[in-house]
Structure 1
Amino acid sequence: MAFSTAQAQAPGIHRTDLIKNDLSTPHLEGVQVRVDFEPGAFAPKHAHPGEEIAYVLEGTLEYQLGDSPPVTLKTGQALFIPAGMAHSARNVGSGKSSELATYIVKKGAPLATPSK
């Protein structure tokens, strides 16, 4: 299954679109994406038109939400990212890191937009 995520891939980051489906709540859809980060790869600040739950499948990822201090997650840990919250992610481990990103977003809106 392929669909557009509308977010340019940063160097060393590989996205695999898994599923996109309408929800029972009008105007919302659920999207799941696997994101693989090569060592040192960085996803610059961006925001989503809804909530994101990031679950680390392997490795160690550092997330920065807004102006808050960075949070480091390891395999098996998850993070809730509120709708519209600008955030970034970086692989701070020595090997590949991967996350399962689950989004509950406005149907038809770009999945991600760059932030300052």
Structure 2
Amino acid sequence: MVRMLLIGAMLLAAGASVCAQEAGVQRKILLTEDGPPGFQTVVNALEFAPGARELKHAHPGPLSGYVLEGTLVFEQEGRPTASYKAGEAFYVEPGKAHLVINSSDAPVKLIAMLVVEKGKPLSSPVTEQGK
């Protein structure tokens, strides 16, 4: 039983690191700051190579995004698929599955800001069956 739990934990950790290292997607943490009390704010710069896509995932807190360059396709649970271009912003409710796709032949650059409970993971992969 202990062995099965250890194997499960290793697979879960491997899945989380795969989510963080998707081909054609570069992430750079620009800022991690405590506040409001019990929470932390994290600001990321992301770049999607032409044709790159994220794995479907969710965040435990709200996410606000702003497109700096290019046009992205955004799929979010409970909403129709949308496109956002440079100068446009989007919002993701806590726990909602979503992903970004760059279906163009040019890079897409964006800034994403998350507010999450301190000590919680920033994101979790989502399978087709659920979280």
The TM-score normalised by the length of structure 2 is 0.80
1:85 equivalent in alignment to 2:91: no
User: Which consecutive segments of 4 or more residues in structure 1 shift more than 2 A?
Assistant: none
Q: Identity across aligned pairs (percent)?
A: 36
Match of 2:32 among 3, 14, 20: 20
Match of 1:106 among 103, 114, 117: 117
Shift of 1:106: 1.0
Structure 1 equivalent of residue 4 of structure 2: none
Where does the alignment leave 5 or more consecutive residues of structure 1 unmatched?
A: none
Shift of 1:68: 2.6
More RCO (CA 8 Å, sep 6+): 1
The TM-score normalised by the length of structure 1 is 0.90
Mapped partners of 1:67, 1:28: distance in 2: 26
Where does the alignment leave 5 or more consecutive residues of structure 2 unmatched?
A: 1-15
Structure 2 equivalent of residue 34 of structure 1: 45
Structure 2 equivalent of residue 53 of structure 1: 64
Higher helix proportion: 2
RMSD: 1.5
Mapped partners of 1:61, 1:46: distance in 2: 16
Q: Report how many residues are paired.
A: 111
Higher strand proportion: 1
